[in-house]
């Protein structure tokens, strides 16, 4: 690796680490698509989570922020390929106060309100949920290192899949 590539990689890792450590940021049948056209945005969390559970899969939900370069890395390099391989991956935007979203409590609100309930403060955050909105694996917050992100994501997906298949359709 050349000196300039090492420096760029180091800078990217440091920026991701800063984000990770606390640089705070203040219909299923025809879903809306993200502004960049890559991941669908659910209108009903219970519906997309139930569909995932019927497949024995967790609902994988990217909490993103418009213009976030780390969100774009996670979306493009990791979650979009996983969705293409059949994993139910969706996304919601931290600042979306316009689009209606039915939460796991059956109430209609908006994405920003639901994200606040989950106490998500950093983007990107990836959640792994069952049909009732319970987390099946530890959430993946930030992106400290692109080198290891895929392994962290794969580990969480495996844990969530195991939990989803162990008790499909049951409250944990």
Average pLDDT, the chain: 80
Q: Where are the domains of the chain?
A: 3-166
- pLDDT single digits (tens) 75-96: 999 999 999 999 999 999 999 8
Residue with tokens 């960049």: 36
Report if pTM > 0.85. no
% of the chain beyond a pLDDT of 90: 67
Determine the pLDDT at residue 48.
97
Residue with tokens 């969480």: 156
In whole angstroms, what is the distance from residue 24 CA to residue 33 CA? Answer: 26
Q: How many CB atoms lie within 10 A of CB 170?
A: 10
Determine the pLDDT at residue 32.
40
Determine the pLDDT at residue 36.
45
Identify whether 124 is preceded by a cis peptide bond (ω within 30 of 0).
yes
- pLDDT single digits (tens) 110-168: 999 999 999 999 999 999 999 999 999 999 999 987 789 999 999 999 999 999 887 65
Exposure of 27 by Cβ count < 10 A (0-12 exposed, 13-18 middle, 19+ buried)? exposed
The matching CATH number, chosen from 3.40.50.10800, 3.20.20.140, 3.20.20.10, 3.40.30.10, for 3-166 is 3.40.30.10
Q: Calculate mean pLDDT across residues 93-102.
A: 92
């Amino acid at each position: 690796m050349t000196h300039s590539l090492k420096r760029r990689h180091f800078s990217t890792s440091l920026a991701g680490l800063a984000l990770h450590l606390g640089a705070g940021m203040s219909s299923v049948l025809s879903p809306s698509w993200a502004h960049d056209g890559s991941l669908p945005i659910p209108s009903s969390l219970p519906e997309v989570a139930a569909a995932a559970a019927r497949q024995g899969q967790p609902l994988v939900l990217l909490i993103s922020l418009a213009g976030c370069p780390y969100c774009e890395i996670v979306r493009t390099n990791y979650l979009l390929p996983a969705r293409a391989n059949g994993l139910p991956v969706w996304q919601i935007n931290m600042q979306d106060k316009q689009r209606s979203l039915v939460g796991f409590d059956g109430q209609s609100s908006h994405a920003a309100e639901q994200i606040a309930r989950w106490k998500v403060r950093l983007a990107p955050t990836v959640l792994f949920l069952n049909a009732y909105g319970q987390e099946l694996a530890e959430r993946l917050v930030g992106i400290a290192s692109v080198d290891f992100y895929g392994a962290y994501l794969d580990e969480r997906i495996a844990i969530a899949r195991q939990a989803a298949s162990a008790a499909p359709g049951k409250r944990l």
